[in-house]
Amino acid sequence: MFIGFFLKLKAAGVPVSLTELLALHQALDAHVSGFSIEDFYYLSRLVLVKDERHYDRFDRVFAEHFEGAVALLDELFGEIPEEWLRREAERLLSEEDKKKIESLGGWDKLMETLKKRLEEQQGRHQGGNKWIGTGGTSPFGAHGYNPEGIRIGQDESRHRRAVKVWDKREFRNLDDSVELGTRNIKMALRKLRRFAREGAAEELDLDDTIYSTARNAGYLDLKMVPERHNAVKVLLFLDVGGSMDDHVRVCEELFSAARGEFKHLEYFYFHNFLYEGVWRDNRRRHSERIPTMDVLHRYPADYKLIFVGDATMSPYEISVHGGSVEHWNEEPGAVWLQRMLAVYQHAIWLNPEPQIRWDRVLSIRMTRELMGERMFPLTVAGLEDGIAELKKRRA
C-alpha cells in the first residue's frame, strides 16, 4: 500500500526510507487517526517527513498523488449501500431518535428522502452551495441525525478543507533551495563551530583526575580543564557598492547572522575586488583604510576566510595594475587575492549571483579559478557546501 506515493515522495527529494513506510502502516493499523483524507494527510506527514523544509515538497506530491483518489471517493460516495447506511445509523442513533424517525414515516421513507437529497446535493454542490442539514430544515438535521457518524457530507466537506490544507502550501518558505533568512544562515554557520578548551581551568577533568589519583597512590589529585568554547575564527570580506546593491539584503542577513554566531569575527569591506586597502566603516571608507598587508600580518593563519561578492566586473580589475575603477592600484587584484590565499588555507568565496550565470561572466570564472574552484552560491545549500569546504583539513 502507498508504495506509489512513497516512491513519488522519494523521487521528489523527500528523504523517506522503509522504516517510515512501515511506521505509517503500523500507525494506520493502530487506528491512530480518523478515516478522513485530512487525517490521513496529517498522519502521513507526521510519520514520513522529518524536517519542515520538506513539508512543501510533501504537500505537492500529496496533492498530485491523491487528487485522483479524492475524485474517486466523490464518485463512490454517491453509491453508498443502503444496508450499510441503515446499520450505521442504527448504531449511532439513540432510542429516542429512532422513535422520532418512526414518527416521520419510518426508515424507508427517510432513506428515500436522503437519497434524493444526496442526488440533489451532487448537482447543487458544484455550484458551491452548502450541505443539507446545515439549515436545519431537513429531517436529518432537525432530528439529530448525525452526519459526522455516517460520514456523508461531513466527509465531503472535510475533503474540501483538507485539499486546501496542502494546496495552501504554507511551508513554501521553509524549503531550503529557495531563500536565505537570518535564521537559516545562522543554522548554516553554526556548522562551522569547533569546540576547544581555552582560557581559565574551571571544569573538573574527571578522566585526568582518576588517572592522576591512581598514579598518586590513591590520594586525590584534582585536575581541572577550561570549559569548551566555540573557537572558530573568521575573517569576513564583503563587497559593497556598485553591482552589489542588488544583494544588499542577503549580505546584511549573512553579516548579522555571522556576527551573532562567531566570537572571533573580523569583517572588512572592499569594492569589487581585493586590493591593497580595505575598510571597516563604509562612511569613512576613504579616510580610514586598513592596509591589506596589516590584515595579513595581524591575523594568524588559523583564521578562516570568507569572501562575499558577486565578482562581476571588468576582467581588468582583477588582472591588471591600475585596473580598479576607484583608485590607482599598484598591483593587480589577483596578486592580493593570491597573497591572502597563501596565508589562509581555509577560504571560500560566496557569490550572491545565481549559479547559472557564473560561466557566462569572465570575471567570475577568473575569480573562481583564483579561489581554486572554492566559490559557492549564497543560498542555504551553497553556504552549507562552503562551510563543509572550510571544515576540511588541508595540509
Partner 1 sequence: MSATRFTGTDNYVATDDLKMAVNAALTLSRPLLIKGEPGTGKTQLAEEVAAALNAPLHTWHIKSTTRAHQGLYEYDAVSRLRDSQLGDERVHDIANYILKGKLWQAFESEQRAVLLIDEIDKADIEFPNDLLQELDRMEFDVYETRQRISAKQRPLVIITSNNEKELPDAFLRRCFFHYIQFPDRETMQAIVEVHYPGLKKDLLSAALEVFFDLREVPGLKKKPSTSELLDWLKLLLAEDIPPEALGADDPRTILPKLHGALLKNEQDVHLFERLIFMNRRRREQN
CA atoms of 222 and 206, how far apart (whole Å): 8
The rounded distance, in Å, linking the Cα atoms of 164 and 200 is 58
Retrieve residue 294's grid coordinates: 596589516
User: Which candidate, 103, 95, 175, places its Cα nearest to that of 139?
Assistant: 103
Q: Please report how close the Cβ of residue 231 comes to partner 1 at its closest, in angstroms.
A: 13
SS3 157: helix
Residue choice 8, 39, 154, 320 for contact with partner 1 (CB under 8 A): 39
Q: Is 339 in the site for partner 1 (CB under 8 A)?
A: no
Going by their DSSP bridges, the two strands 289-291 and 233-239 should be labelled as unpaired
DSSP 266: E
The CB-of-30 to partner 1 minimum distance in angstroms stands at 5
Largest CA distance in the chain: 103
The answer to whether the beta carbons of residues 174 and 52 sit under 8 Å apart is yes
Q: Which stretch binds partner 1 (CB under 8 A): 19-27, 239-247, 279-287, 316-324?
A: 19-27
Answer whether 138's CB lies under 8 Å from 59's CB: no
Query: What are the backbone dihedrals phi and psi of residue 277, each rounded to the nearest 5 degrees, phi first?
Result: -130, 145
Among 4, 91, 136, 219, binds partner 1 (CB under 8 A): 219
Which of 70, 85, 92, 187 is the binder for partner 1 (CB under 8 A)?
Answer: 187
What would the grid cell of residue 24 be? 505509517
Task: Decide: is 381 part of the binding site for partner 1 (CB under 8 A).
Answer: no
Near partner 1 by CB under 8 A: residue from 7, 27, 104, 240? 27
Phi-psi region of 141 (alpha: psi -120 to 50; beta: other; left: phi over 0): alpha
Q: Which of 35, 51, 96, 325 binds partner 1 (CB under 8 A)?
A: 51
45, 108, 309, 324, 368 from 188: Cα distances, Å: 25, 66, 18, 33, 22
Site for partner 1 in 243-282 (CB under 8 A): 249, 256
Q: Which is nearer to partner 1, 15 or 291 (CB)?
A: 15
113 binds partner 1 (CB under 8 A): no
* Residue 23 within binding range of partner 1, rule CB under 8 A: yes
Question: Which one of 6, 131, 145, 171 is in contact with partner 1 (CB under 8 A)?
Answer: 171
Candidates 49, 238, 278, 383; binder of partner 1 (CB under 8 A) is 49
Single out the residue of 5, 9, 14, 20 in contact with partner 1 (rule: CB under 8 A).
20
- CA atoms of 377 and 29, how far apart (whole Å): 45
Single residue of 4, 81, 127, 218 touching partner 1 by CB under 8 A: 218
Task: Yes or no: say if 289 and 280 are a contact pair by the CB < 8 Å rule.
Answer: no
How many residues touch partner 1 under the rule CB under 8 A: the total is: 44
Does 63 bind partner 1 (CB under 8 A)? Our answer is no
β-pairing, 289-291 vs 277-279, is: antiparallel
**Residue 190 near partner 1 by CB under 8 A:** yes
Interface ranges with partner 1 (CB under 8 A): 15, 17, 19-20, 23, 26-27, 30, 32-33, 38-39, 42-43, 45-47, 49-52, 55, 170-171, 174, 182-183, 186-187, 190-191, 195, 204, 206, 209-210, 213, 218-220, 227-228, 249, 256
